[in-house]
Structure 1
Amino acid sequence: MHIPDGFLDPKIWVGASAVSAGALAAAVSNTRKVLEDRQVPALGVMAAFIFAAQMINFPVAGGTSGHLLGGALAAILLGPWSAGLILTTVLVIQMLFFYDGGLTALGANVLNMAVIAPWVAYGTYRLLGGLFRGNAGRTVATFLAAWLSVMAAALACSLEIAFSGTVPLAVVLPAMLGWHALIGIGEGLITVVVVSFVSRLWGLEQPGQKSYAGGEQL
Structure 2
Amino acid sequence: MHAPDGFIDAPVSAAAGLAAAGALAVSLRGARRELDERTAPLAGLVAAFVFAVQMLNFPVAAGTSGHLMGGALAAILVGPFTGILCVSVVLLMQAVLFADGGLTALGVNITTMAVTTTVVAYAFFRGLVTVLPRTRRSVTAASFVAALASVPASAIVFTLLYAVGGTTDVSIGKVAGAMVGVHVLIGIGEAVITALTVGAVLAVRPDLVHGARGVRQKLKLRVNGELVDAPDEEPAPVPAAARSPRKVWAAGLVTSLVLAGFVSFYASADPDGLEKVATDHGIAEKAEEHAAADSPLADYGVEDVDDARLSGGLAGVIGVGVTVVACTGVFRAVRRRRAGEEPGAAPPSSTTSSTTGTSV
The question of whether the paired residues in 1 share the 8 Å contact of 2:140 and 2:198 is answered with no
Distance in 2, Cα, partners of 1:40 & 1:139: 22
Letter in 1 for 2:147: A
Residue 144 of structure 1 corresponds to 145
The question of whether the paired residues in 2 share the 8 Å contact of 1:3 and 1:102 is answered with yes
Distance 1:209 1:58, change over 3 A: closer
Q: Could you tell me how far 1:210 is from its partner in structure 2?
A: 6.6
Q: Deviation string for 1:100-147 (max 9, x for gaps)?
A: 111111001001111111011110000011111134433331111001
Aligned ranges 1:1-218 → 2 under 5 Å: 1-36=1-36, 39-57=39-57, 66-133=66-133, 134-165=135-166, 166=168, 167-204=170-207, 207=211, 209=213
Q: Deviation string for 1:132-167 (max 9, x for gaps)?
A: 113443333111100111111111112222322334
TM-score by length of 2: 0.53
Distance 1:149 1:9, change over 3 A: same
The question of whether the paired residues in 2 share the 8 Å contact of 1:72 and 1:122 is answered with yes
What is the count of residue pairs matched by the alignment?
A: 211
Q: Could you tell me how far 1:175 is from its partner in structure 2?
A: 2.0
Distance in 2, Cα, partners of 1:85 & 1:14: 20
The question of whether the paired residues in 2 share the 8 Å contact of 1:67 and 1:183 is answered with yes
The question of whether the paired residues in 2 share the 8 Å contact of 1:20 and 1:110 is answered with yes
The question of whether the paired residues in 2 share the 8 Å contact of 1:74 and 1:83 is answered with yes
Q: CA RMSD in A?
A: 2.8
Q: What is the SS of the residue equivalent to 1:183?
A: helix
Q: What is the SS of the residue equivalent to 1:7?
A: coil
Moved more, 152-161 or 35-44: 35-44
Q: Deviation string for 1:1-27 (max 9, x for gaps)?
A: 111101112221111111111110011
5+ residue gaps, structure 1, are none
Q: What is the SS of the residue equivalent to 1:126?
A: helix
Distance in 2, Cα, partners of 1:117 & 1:4: 19
Q: What is the SS of the residue equivalent to 1:46?
A: helix
The question of whether the paired residues in 2 share the 8 Å contact of 1:2 and 1:66 is answered with no
Q: Runs of 4+ in structure 1 displaced over 6 angstroms?
A: 210-214
The question of whether the paired residues in 2 share the 8 Å contact of 1:4 and 1:100 is answered with yes
Distance in 2, Cα, partners of 1:203 & 1:37: 14
Distance in 2, Cα, partners of 1:168 & 1:68: 27
Q: Could you tell me how far 1:56 is from its partner in structure 2?
A: 3.3
Letter in 1 for 2:200: F
The question of whether the paired residues in 1 share the 8 Å contact of 2:67 and 2:190 is answered with no
Moved more, 51-60 or 115-124: 51-60
Q: What is the SS of the residue equivalent to 2:129?
A: helix
Distance in 2, Cα, partners of 1:140 & 1:38: 23
Q: Deviation string for 1:149-206 (max 9, x for gaps)?
A: 1111111112222322334312321222122111111111111111111123223489
Q: Could you tell me how far 1:50 is from its partner in structure 2?
A: 0.4
Distance in 1, Cα, partners of 2:178 & 2:34: 40
Distance in 2, Cα, partners of 1:80 & 1:102: 25
Q: Could you tell me how far 1:94 is from its partner in structure 2?
A: 0.5
Residue 347 of structure 2 corresponds to none
Distance in 2, Cα, partners of 1:57 & 1:203: 29
Distance in 2, Cα, partners of 1:206 & 1:82: 10
TM-score by length of 1: 0.85
Moved more, 176-185 or 78-87: 176-185
Instruction: Identify, as 1 or 2, the structure richer in helix.
Output: 1
The question of whether the paired residues in 2 share the 8 Å contact of 1:162 and 1:168 is answered with no
